Amino acid sequence: MAENRRGMLGTSRIRAFGCALGAIALLSLPCFAQLQVGDDLRMNLSGNVGFTYAGGMNGGVSDHAMGFMGNGTLSGNYYNPNFLNFNVSPFYNREQTNSIFGSLSNSSGLSSNVNLFSGSHFPGSISYNKLFNDTNAFGVPGSDLGLAQRQNTQSFGVGWSALIPDWPTLTANYTIGNTSNDLIGIPGTDTENDRLLNIMSTYNWDGFLMTGQFQHRTTDTYFSELLETGQSPFTTLSSSNDYGATLQHSLPMTGSFGLSWNRLSYNYDYQNAFSANNSGNSDTVNATAAFHPTNQLGVSFEGTYNDSLLGNVPVAALNAGTAVNTSVADSFHSYLVGSNVFYQVITTLGLQASVAYENQSFLGQSYSATQFGGSANFNFDHSLVKGLSFSVGVVDTAQQANNTGVGFVGNVNYDRKFWGWDLGANFSYAQNVQTVMLVYTTSYYSYLGSVRRRIGDRKYFMAGYSGSHSGVTANSGTTSSANRVWSGFIYRGNSINAYYDKSSGLALFTAAGLVPVPTTLPTQVLAPNTFTSYDSTGYGVSLGITPMRRLIVSGAWAKSNGSTISPSLNLYTDNTLINATMQYRLRKIFVTAGYTRLNQSIGALGTQPLDVTNYYIGISRWFNFF
């Protein structure tokens, strides 16, 4: 047994020695110029080729590996760049120094595209992209870190256009894509397959600008991660057809007219221990007209008709196969007519007034209301408060039964540089503002502030704070909030940064992460089991230094924890991430190194965390092969 082990170690050393010799030989290779094949084909190939050693520990089990790594770009053209040009960029065993999760995995892949007849009336393109063993974040709204997951993606696309002068243009694109995600430390794989067809046409005739568009999307998803005990994986299949058309024309008095129509059809299938299916349609028609009789006066008119709330569901949620209660969405009908007048009294003061009448029906109930609104916008140009601007407005909604109260909207901005300080701030507030539904109002406020100061030769200090809070008053539990504070210091190319963020709210679960639920949409439109309440807190610090010329060293530490509660997703998360990288450049030779350690816990309180550590060191050289 001992002799076999010594033999294996000897073989490993010989293999490592051979790889090292190969790396040295590569670094000594000369570079060449552009390659021309025949009279018409021209190509150029450049990139980095090198040798890397990587090791790690996963769940107490260590491993290591040595081998080649590299990336390159092959570009060229045939006959003429406008006739055919191409670009192919493969990479192998690439360390993700540009990823928040650093060297947690070595990724390989390819991105490529071909352009045909670029200089003609019938240009086309073909693209293919593939990414294997990538590491990215399962997104949580308001969180900088998220949950680490491994991802494989692949896509193929083809596009063509007909651009004949004085004829309607026509552009068509078709894309096929598939994605698989594996949350680190969680069994199972989530997959998503997409098919997207997009057709668009434009035409300008006698001052009328017309556009038409059609989009068909099919999304097939499979969820097997983050499931409750005993819950089976489930699949969703959703498809949508989106039709649209617009018409625009200029009018007297520096005016314009616009008319648009949009129709969205949606179909959804769900399969688990039980199956469900629903479908629906949404039509929206909008007409606008605007005039500017004088430089100071502007008048506009608007009319809108909508026969479903389906079009108000976030596109990201529809694309992810989120279940929509189409019977509820289709019970909505609305039409609105209104007018708006704006007058610039003086350079720093503008006044605005509006009136609108709206009639709605929803879930068998009818509502109607007349809204009156007004606002003032003021910009200060005095030396003491220069850079300060604000606007205030009120909206009064009178329904057929009673007056629902006065809504208030306010906004303050400040942007000023003085005495070496660069200050910026914004505060927005709204109370009792109508949402898409007359009977639902929302209140929200948001704020942000930043300061930057030069405190010496190539020395800068920066800090900022931002936050938001919103919610629909008619739906308890639909509020959301997010806060973030950050600070940084830069000295001669060296920097240190720190942040703290906290967020909570209501979201929809998708394979790519949590998508916030818009607080302006009635929750009855979405299936009850699609909602997930989330709470997340994160903080971290990063450092970047250049101790000597051509040497760059960076490091970061971050921690996040959170929880989600819903009928299908109840869990607690806790992440700690340490990431460090180093790069040294000597002419065309690069020496790189990295270290990443992830401690990630996903599940019930007290779940044993998974500890993953990876590190690497490599040497490579840039070549211009031909």
Mean pLDDT computed over 246-251: 93
Phi/psi for 285 (5° steps) reads: -125, 135
pLDDT at residue 144 is higher than 60: yes
CA 341 to mean position of chain CA atoms: 36
Q: Tell me the H-state helices in 28-68.
A: none
pLDDT at residue 143 is higher than 80: no
Distance CA 151, CA 180 (A): 6
Q: What angle do CA 459, 465, 466 make, to 5 degrees?
A: 140
Least-confidence region, from 91-105, 291-305, 348-362, 486-500: 91-105
pLDDT at residue 357 is higher than 60: yes
Q: How many residues does the chain have?
A: 626
Q: What pLDDT band is residue 537 in, cutting at 50, 70 and 90?
A: confident
Mean pLDDT in the chain? 78
Helix, strand, coil share (%) of the chain residues, nearest 5: 5, 70, 25
Question: How do residues 20-39 score in pLDDT, each as one tens digit?
Answer: 444 444 444 554 455 666 67
The three state secondary structure string of 333-365 is EEEEEEEEEEEEEECCEEEEEEEEEEEEEECCE
- Of the chain, the end-to-end C-alpha distance in Å amounts to 51
Q: What pLDDT band is residue 618 in, cutting at 50, 70 and 90?
A: confident
CA distances from 536 to 144, 146, 470, 505, 595 (A): 10, 9, 17, 9, 26
Question: How do residues 269-300 score in pLDDT, each as one tens digit?
Answer: 777 666 767 777 888 999 999 999 888 899 99
pLDDT at 384: 56
Phi/psi for 103 (5° steps) reads: -90, 30
Mean pLDDT computed over 108-112: 89
pLDDT at 63: 77
pLDDT at 24: 45
In 79-189 the beta strands, taken as DSSP E runs, fall at 84-95, 106-116, 124-138, 147-162, 170-183
How many CB atoms within 10 Å of residue 182? Answer: 17
CB 101 within 8 A of CB 579: yes
pLDDT at 512: 63
Which of the listed ranges 233-237, 433-437, 556-560 does the model predict with the highest average pLDDT? Answer: 556-560
Return the closest-CA partner of residue 483 out of 468, 462, 471: 468
Helix (H) or strand (E) holding 280: strand 275-291
Which of the listed ranges 203-217, 278-292, 324-338, 403-417 does the model predict with the highest average pLDDT? Answer: 203-217
pLDDT at 3: 39
Q: Which letter does DSSP use for residue 197 in this model?
A: E
Helix (H) or strand (E) holding 444: strand 441-456
Distance CA 196, CA 21 (A): 48
The bridge status of strand 349-362 relative to strand 421-434 is unpaired
- Amino acid letter, residue 560: S
Question: How do residues 152-194 score in pLDDT, each as one tens digit?
Answer: 899 999 999 999 998 999 999 999 999 888 877 777 788 889 9
Q: What is the pTM (predicted TM-score) of this model?
A: 0.77
pLDDT at 51: 86
Distance CA 200, CA 218 (A): 18
Mean pLDDT computed over 406-410: 70
> At which residue do the structure tokens 């600008």 appear?
209
Question: How do residues 435-488 score in pLDDT, each as one tens digit?
Answer: 555 555 567 778 888 898 888 777 889 999 988 887 655 554 567 788 899 999
Q: What pLDDT band is residue 88 in, cutting at 50, 70 and 90?
A: very high
pLDDT at 312: 67
Task: State what percent of residues in the chain have pLDDT above 70.
Answer: 74
> At which residue do the structure tokens 């989600």 appear?
564
Mean pLDDT computed over 303-323: 71
Return the closest-CA partner of residue 174 out of 159, 161, 162, 163: 159
Mean pLDDT computed over 416-422: 79
pLDDT at 311: 66
pLDDT at residue 434 is higher than 60: no
pLDDT at 435: 53
